[in-house]
Structure 1
Amino acid sequence: MCWSELPDVLLEEVYSKLTYKQRYYCSMVCRHWYDLFYSSKVWEHFVLGERTLTRRRMRPYRNSYMYTLSQYKAKMCLDRVGEFFKKITIKPISDYYNLYAFMTVLSAFLEFYEEYPMPLLHGFHFNFGCENRGFSGITVHGTGGKILEELKRLLGNMKNLEELTLNQLLLDKKEAPGLLESVLENCAETLKVLEIVNCTKGSYPMFYAGMFMSLQKLIISPQHLSSDVIAMLASTSLTDIHIVQDRHTDGVAPINSQTWFEVKQMSPRLQVRLEARGGTREEILFQPRAPVTSIVYDSPYLKMTPDAVMMITDHYRKTLRLYAQKGLPRTHGSRSFHERCDGLVLMLVRQCPELRVLIIRERISSMTLLLVASQAKKLQKLYVRQNAVLKKTDWPKTLEWSDEYYADLKKKSQSYELLQKEISRCMGYPWKLLTDKEFEKLKI
């Protein structure tokens, strides 16, 4: 089968994987490909990157080029295919002028027509580029001023959103009021997923998050929570709260345990995920007695520590279902048994009987994996890097183990093939160790 014989469904899928410039070049091949260029499926997700819709210009007084947003390209893009957008994502952009110019064009486009020009739009994801790299190092900027005004104007023009993301704005406390007011007016009954991470530099409770009647999932940083906010959220239809922290999150105190106890009584279906991401070196801020079902480490600098495991087993023993370390580590992994995480992993599995998914990236022995697979009765998924597995039998024999059982453990710990075969038998499905590339692609 040649390209001219491919069905439209496959061609639309190919188009959606191409850059915007490549799509334009493909549309010039033939009339059929030109028609596919304007297919609604091709333009479902619009992503604004560093050089999207820009043109190259010579810098004045410098022998170099700069890329500035072409308002003509932006207007043409919105006029031709803007009605097909279902989701708009704005990635972190270092050139704040280009960001401001695009938001201005998009706001004007939404205001120009009497009828709403983007009836399919249900998702808007705004990630502010707060970090700039220069000769003096990394400089962190918060938004505000004209960009904040234009963002509020843009949010006020969007209707019937179901997903909204506002990340890394790092506003001053005096600038934060009114940020979500316009969204509340147009999307109070439709918004289902809200993500607000580091909207302010310090502690600032986001009470507006509890006013969206259809909200099902909230991703929020700990400085935007308080006892009153948690109580408001418990009275809504919310079922998932992800408390996320990164290297820009300011240190705050956790919500008191009495509040979480009352929340569990008011909303028994509520589930909480604690997550550290974005290269932070700070331990997760644990919420005492919260209904935590998932704990995710998505920072390469964090390791499993005795204090963290003790907190988990003390507060989330009956609720924890997922423990994950995503990505590859950037910390030293000792080969010594007493400095590795083997004992902590086994303690976590024994003390948390409801654990369903376990993802470990640190160095661990093959014998520990055999013990985990045999003792975790409800464990359904186990993911481990092959490069992190040591073929060692450093566990001493206990009184509970017979000589035959201990000899069998030692034998199966010396071979990856026997290890995978035994864990497959315990898990009930074909199980294997993952390469680093496979481990990095894991999605939770």
Structure 2
Amino acid sequence: MCLSAVGKNFRKLTFEPMLNFFNLYEFMNMVSWYSENSDKKAENIQKGIGGKINTLKFTFPCNMTTRDDTERIRLFGTGGKLLAALKRLMNNLKNLRRLELIDLMLDPKEAQYLLDEVCQNCYENLKYLCVINTTRVQYTLLHIGVFINLQVLIVSPQNLGDDNIELLCYTNLKHLHILQNRYTPNDVNIKPVSPQSWKKCRQINRVLRVHLQLESMKEKPLIWQKGAPVKTVLYNSPHIGANINQLVMSIELYKNTLQIYGHLNVPRFWSPKSFFNRIDSSLILLLRECPYISTLIVTERISTATVLLLAFTGQNLRYLHIRGNAVIIRNDWPKNNEWSEEFYSWLKVNCKSYKLVEQEVSQILGYQWHFLTDKEFKNLNINLHVP
């Protein structure tokens, strides 16, 4: 009754992870049935249900699949009809502009036909596509290169390959997010796209920007994309901290394109107190070698002197997000031969309190700047699409 009363006004459908697959299956089929029979002249059929839907988000409850192998087999066994209902629903939503399919973990044979109907109906309309963990194993999703007016694409590294990158070259894609989440497998050998394909892509689509993102509750390695026009390297995990290897890799691969680097979330790991074991000098190196960095996010222990040096060193630094509880009041930097006595005196004087640091950084950046509380840091929202 509710669907027939208000269904014609729906603009967005969101299916969050749920345990009751039967209700999910029945609801999707019901929306599809109304859409398929909207042209029939029966009195009991409401017209226009689902016709205005432009956004569909479907997230499979992958947390259920990690309990044990038996549970996973049972769930994937029941996924056949659920997948068919999802494909039927997508076929009936002719005006989709935004589509998100998250953690489906399909067999490659099923993934091969997943977006057939969407490609046929929405290859010109779709602007935003998110397909995270479509398969568990490495499988190149060719369909993602068909949508000629796509602006934003979010995809997992195991579903990228040379073939679909070549297709994406000839679209209007502006932002490619290569995202690894907590369910992206660690036990599968995921091959990055070849540098040759990235080089060709950069030559054809000069506006494309790549964002490497890793979201996980546990430690896992980032899949680096050599030769890609990477604008962002962003970690979101309480158990992954910055280290010299990550920073050096970012410098070596993306020194001329990197604009955003950082670690979100409050760390749950031990952070060294000694200056020589901390990441202070590595962060300064990052800003020196990557002159286009405009946003830096720091969650680990650094000193007040380092905060001042970060603000001073970043040539194009605009947004400096630092978790205040991790900052210690200290000047543990030895005098650099490149520093004048006046500069070193300024550093020593202004690193003695948080208030002085905030005043000096505000003056350098040109707006009222402050250290972030843990609550503010957790709620931090970084706009990766800023030009």
* CA shift for structure 1 position 182: 0.9
Q: Secondary structure at the match of 2:82?
A: helix
1:20-59 aligned within 5 A: none
Q: 1:162 corresponds to which residue?
A: 97
1:373 to 301, 308, 311: 311
1:161-190 Cα distance to aligned partner (Å, 9 max, x none): 000001101011222221100111211110
Give the Cα–Cα distance (whole angstroms) in 1 for the partners of residues 166 and 113 of structure 2: 21
* CA shift for structure 1 position 334: 2.1
Q: Secondary structure at the match of 1:159?
A: coil
Give the Cα–Cα distance (whole angstroms) in 1 for the partners of residues 184 and 218 of structure 2: 9
Give the Cα–Cα distance (whole angstroms) in 2 for the partners of residues 187 and 420 of structure 1: 50
Give the Cα–Cα distance (whole angstroms) in 1 for the partners of residues 32 and 236 of structure 2: 35
2:124 to 184, 189, 212: 189
Q: 1:126 corresponds to which residue?
A: 58
The one-letter amino acid paired with 2:79 is G
The one-letter amino acid paired with 1:433 is F
The one-letter amino acid paired with 1:441 is N
Task: Verify the 8 A CA contact 1:131 1:139 in the aligned structure 2.
Answer: no
2:133 to 180, 183, 198: 198
Task: Verify the 8 A CA contact 1:203 1:223 in the aligned structure 2.
Answer: yes
Give the Cα–Cα distance (whole angstroms) in 2 for the partners of residues 336 and 238 of structure 1: 45
Q: 1:222 corresponds to which residue?
A: 157
Q: Which moved more, 1:246-255 or 1:191-200?
A: 246-255
Pick closer, same or farther for the CA change 1:135–1:217 going to 2, 3 Å. closer
1:36-435 aligned within 5 A: 76-114=1-39, 116-132=48-64, 142=76, 144-250=79-185, 251-435=189-373
The one-letter amino acid paired with 1:305 is N
Runs (4+) of structure 1 exceeding 6 A deviation are 133-138
* CA shift for structure 1 position 116: 4.0
Task: Verify the 8 A CA contact 1:328 1:436 in the aligned structure 2.
Answer: yes
Give the Cα–Cα distance (whole angstroms) in 1 for the partners of residues 66 and 164 of structure 2: 39
Give the Cα–Cα distance (whole angstroms) in 1 for the partners of residues 287 and 248 of structure 2: 12
* CA shift for structure 1 position 98: 2.8
Give the Cα–Cα distance (whole angstroms) in 1 for the partners of residues 48 and 145 of structure 2: 27
Q: Which moved more, 1:249-258 or 1:113-122?
A: 113-122
Larger Rg: 1
Task: Verify the 8 A CA contact 1:132 1:138 in the aligned structure 2.
Answer: no
Q: 1:21 corresponds to which residue?
A: none
* CA shift for structure 1 position 214: 1.3
The one-letter amino acid paired with 1:416 is Y
Q: Secondary structure at the match of 1:175?
A: helix
Task: Verify the 8 A CA contact 1:246 1:280 in the aligned structure 2.
Answer: no
* CA shift for structure 1 position 151: 1.0
Give the Cα–Cα distance (whole angstroms) in 1 for the partners of residues 380 and 265 of structure 2: 8
Give the Cα–Cα distance (whole angstroms) in 2 for the partners of residues 86 and 278 of structure 1: 31
Give the Cα–Cα distance (whole angstroms) in 2 for the partners of residues 104 and 220 of structure 1: 27
The one-letter amino acid paired with 1:407 is S
The one-letter amino acid paired with 1:128 is F
> What TM-score, normalized by structure 1, do the two folds share?
0.79
Give the Cα–Cα distance (whole angstroms) in 1 for the partners of residues 217 and 90 of structure 2: 29
Give the Cα–Cα distance (whole angstroms) in 2 for the partners of residues 209 and 88 of structure 1: 21
The one-letter amino acid paired with 1:426 is I
Give the Cα–Cα distance (whole angstroms) in 2 for the partners of residues 82 and 424 of structure 1: 51
Percent identical: 39
Q: 2:379 corresponds to which residue?
A: 441
Task: Verify the 8 A CA contact 2:302 2:327 in the aligned structure 1.
Answer: yes
* CA shift for structure 1 position 232: 0.5
Q: Which moved more, 1:170-179 or 1:265-274?
A: 170-179
Give the Cα–Cα distance (whole angstroms) in 2 for the partners of residues 220 and 351 of structure 1: 29
Pick closer, same or farther for the CA change 1:433–1:289 going to 2, 3 Å. same
Q: Report the number of matched residues.
A: 369
Q: Secondary structure at the match of 2:380?
A: coil
1:113-133 Cα distance to aligned partner (Å, 9 max, x none): 225423331110111111129
Give the Cα–Cα distance (whole angstroms) in 2 for the partners of residues 169 and 135 of structure 1: 16
Task: Verify the 8 A CA contact 2:126 2:147 in the aligned structure 1.
Answer: yes
Q: Secondary structure at the match of 2:110?
A: coil
Q: Secondary structure at the match of 1:131?
A: helix
The one-letter amino acid paired with 1:286 is W
Task: Verify the 8 A CA contact 1:144 1:175 in the aligned structure 2.
Answer: no
Give the Cα–Cα distance (whole angstroms) in 1 for the partners of residues 153 and 66 of structure 2: 35
Give the Cα–Cα distance (whole angstroms) in 1 for the partners of residues 138 and 111 of structure 2: 11
Q: Secondary structure at the match of 2:111?
A: coil
The one-letter amino acid paired with 1:130 is C
* CA shift for structure 1 position 392: 1.5
Q: Which moved more, 1:227-236 or 1:408-417?
A: 408-417
* CA shift for structure 1 position 139: 5.8
Give the Cα–Cα distance (whole angstroms) in 2 for the partners of residues 330 and 158 of structure 1: 44
Pick closer, same or farther for the CA change 1:428–1:311 going to 2, 3 Å. same
Task: Verify the 8 A CA contact 1:283 1:302 in the aligned structure 2.
Answer: no
* CA shift for structure 1 position 136: 7.3
Give the Cα–Cα distance (whole angstroms) in 2 for the partners of residues 92 and 173 of structure 1: 22
Q: Which moved more, 1:276-285 or 1:210-219?
A: 276-285
Give the Cα–Cα distance (whole angstroms) in 2 for the partners of residues 341 and 424 of structure 1: 23
